[in-house]
Amino acid sequence: MSDRLAVFNAGQIEQIGSPAEVYERPASVFVANFVGTSNVLGDGRAVRPEKLRLERPDYALQPGEEARLGTIADVVYLGPITRYVVRLRDGTALAEIVVEYPIGHKRRRAAGIPLLVEKFRTNLARRFDEKQQRAILDVSLDQNRLETMQVSQYVDLYAA
């Protein structure tokens, strides 16, 4: 692997730099699209899909961040990845915003909890008889009981 590379377009150099520079800060739309899918903002800047995120309109920007208002035009679900097509107020269409939140992330909690519970049940069934599974599940799925139970009592459910 080289430490510098050049991207050519019709025999002309578009950009020379380290792989990270070319990937993270493409000098042109051509370079951005050459190294993969990129979104081109209204001002001509290319931005990688994974560098964008969706936030509520009242989100408080952090230093170094900038925001654009837009509307979600399309959603594609691809397992742990969700791809959004967003139309900005200035008319620019962002072809792809990749949101990659694992199944247990707070932003995917509603969709994730049933899947995690099912996975928990499946793994308990591999190790414990039905009575022990039920005892573990009853406590694990009851937040009040779980919060008030001593840790040693909970661990004992697995050792019984």
- Does the pTM surpass 0.85? The reply is no
Reported as a single tens digit per residue, the pLDDT across 88-125 is: 888 888 877 777 666 667 777 777 888 889 999 999 99
Say how many C-beta atoms besides its own lie within 10 A of residue 86's C-beta.
20
Tokens (6 digits) for 55: 């936030």
| Spatial separation of the C-alpha atoms in residues 27 and 33, rounded to whole Å | 11
Q: How large is the average pLDDT for residues 129-143?
A: 95
Residue type (1 letter), 77: Y
β partners of residue 6: 16
pLDDT tier at 133, thresholds 50, 70, 90:
very high
| Spatial separation of the C-alpha atoms in residues 130 and 156, rounded to whole Å | 16
Burial of 22 (0-12, 13-18, 19+ CB in 10 A): buried
